[in-house]
Amino acid sequence: MNHAYRFFSAGRKRIFRNKLQESAVSVLPIVLVVAALCLLAVPAPTDLMLAFLIGSIMVIVGMALFTLGSENSLTNIGSHMSSALTKSKKLPLILSVSFALGVFVTVAEPDLKVLAETVPHINTALLIAVVGVGVGAFLALAMARMIFGIKLRYLLLIGYAVVFGLSLFAPAQQLAMAFDSGGVTTGPMTVPFVLAFGVGVSYIRSDRRAESDSFGLVALCSIGPVLAVMLLSCFFRKAPAGDGAQAVDTWKTTTQLGHHYLRAIPGYMLEIALSLSPVLAAFALFQMISLHLKPRACGRILLGLWITYGGLVLFLTGVNVGFSALGRVLGSLIAQSAFKYLLIPLSAILGWFIISAEPAVFTLEKQIEKVSAGAIPGKSVRLSLSVAISAAMALSMTRVLTGVSIMYFLVPGYALALALSFFVPDLYTAIAFDSGGVASGPMTATFMLQFMLGASEASGGNPLSDAFGVVALVAMMPLISVQLMGAAAKLLAKRRKTPDASGDEEIIEIMEARR
């Protein structure tokens, strides 16, 4: 009780009010755009609109609680555990534990379950397990990269060369779903933990590149699921023509809607509890074996974890019950109307605002400002992401309406992103590829994916090949926009005749780091 009192001191209450304000500013533009559409142009069902408004309140409060709690729980847990691992100096132990943690955290990712349940022809549990193994393998690889000082761009080149090589043999209509899986795995559960995991390693490195190398873990973790799902899809080559979606829920009265929310909350409470339990169990094991944190520090982490839990329950209930259904119906109604081709600019507008409503973006911004000592402002990164996601949504809706293969966008896009990595500072490349994974969170996986699915169905397209892929494009575009921002910063630094802080100094390997 004493810990709770200290946690919610006057300062903490002020911080929570600020986070609540940030959440409201992030979510309200989306609410206003959707409300204006439904009230002035598209006759959406009243019950879905009411569900959306209730969900918006839950999303705002949930995001504020999540950002407050994760800073004191998931971030600290990841940092402490990775520090304890790397101090052991036992490479097999580091890699095996990293693999196991990658699997556990990914299986717990709510975004992944949303995508897996939308795929009609592959068993949900099997798909989640395969994706978890892919993330675990590449988290272990990312740790090895940090230990041995391997440049990120070389692993990215090799990884994506294998991905696009394998895409020649995978079923064409399932490629979009495979690339989507790489984006949804890096959501609100995974990102705080994985980013902090990298920072924990950097603390025991003595070179100047150490903290900048803490970025890139999310980038590599996004490759593993794509490879894993492509391999899995080879065994499920025959996919149904439809997307296997369930009918959209409707409610005749406000009490039916209220009861639906009340019935949904316990399900998400159980889901998030199961999601957080592996992380909690791993932390408890590390605490007993090597961490030995003081009771006060443990109490703050546990309280932060509890607040994170409450925030995720509210957030996911709001987006899944309130946002998902309206997104699908709205996309379908507009596609059947005379405003069909306004779907492209509308998608761009929604993409501009929706990135600010992704919880993991806040976590990435904080770490960027911390590692760069404020040299890279979080607001600049968010502006770059807004431009990128706006373009990604416009391209995604273009695919929905025309049926153009996603490979016509992904191949040149990734080629450009990888080419840029040779001309911009390493730190910006790592941030860019991490941003791609962070940008594709629950708001994209629920509202925008459903929006695309509804438009695809109404247009007579194939949702599995046309609507899927929105997450993949959302994950790709920041690779270009953030690196272009880095190139501009490098050019500006040269004009000012200041040294380029690209962090290319020689690495001192971890085995020779300070004790």
* Most trustworthy range by pLDDT among 62-76, 105-119, 489-503: 62-76
Query: Which has the closest alpha carbon to 390: 344, 359, 429?
Result: 344
Please report, for residues 7, 76, 143, 393, the alpha-carbon distance to residue 99 in angstroms, rounded to integers and kept in the order given: 33, 19, 10, 33
pLDDT of res. 101: 83
96-133: per-residue pLDDT in tens?
888 888 888 787 776 677 677 666 667 777 888 888 89
158-207: per-residue pLDDT in tens?
999 999 998 888 777 778 878 887 777 777 667 777 777 776 666 655 55
16-34: per-residue pLDDT in tens?
888 888 788 878 888 898 8
> In whole numbers, what is the pLDDT of the chain averaged over residues?
80
Task: Name the burial class of residue 333, with classes exposed (0-12), middle (13-18) and buried (19+) by CB atoms within 10 angstroms of its CB.
Answer: buried
* 504 has pLDDT over 70: no
pLDDT of res. 265: 92
Output the six-digit token pair for 146.
Answer: 């940090």
pLDDT of res. 103: 86
* 245 has pLDDT over 60: no
Average pLDDT over residues 140-158: 85
User: Each residue of 220-259: b (16+ CB within 10 Å) or e?
Assistant: bbbbbbbbbbbebbeeeeebeeebebeebeebeeeeebee
297-310: per-residue pLDDT in tens?
898 889 988 998 99
Ranking 81-90, 144-153, 334-343 by mean pLDDT, the lowest is 81-90
Please report, for residues 44, 127, 243, 466, the alpha-carbon distance to residue 177 in angstroms, rounded to integers and kept in the order given: 28, 11, 11, 10
Contacting residues for 58 by C-beta, under 8 A, at least 6 apart: 314, 315, 317, 318, 322
Average pLDDT over residues 329-358: 87
476-495: per-residue pLDDT in tens?
999 999 999 988 888 887 87
Count other Cβ atoms within 10 Å, centred on residue 183. 28
- What is the distance between the alpha carbons of residues 306 and 301, in angstroms, rounded to a whole number? 9
- What is the distance between the alpha carbons of residues 451 and 458, in angstroms, rounded to a whole number? 11
Supply the pTM of this predicted model.
0.78
* 499 has pLDDT over 60: no
- What is the distance between the alpha carbons of residues 140 and 22, in angstroms, rounded to a whole number? 35
440-455: per-residue pLDDT in tens?
777 777 788 889 988 9
3-state secondary structure of 61: helix
- What is the distance between the alpha carbons of residues 64 and 55, in angstroms, rounded to a whole number? 14
| Higher pLDDT, residue 255 or 437 | 255
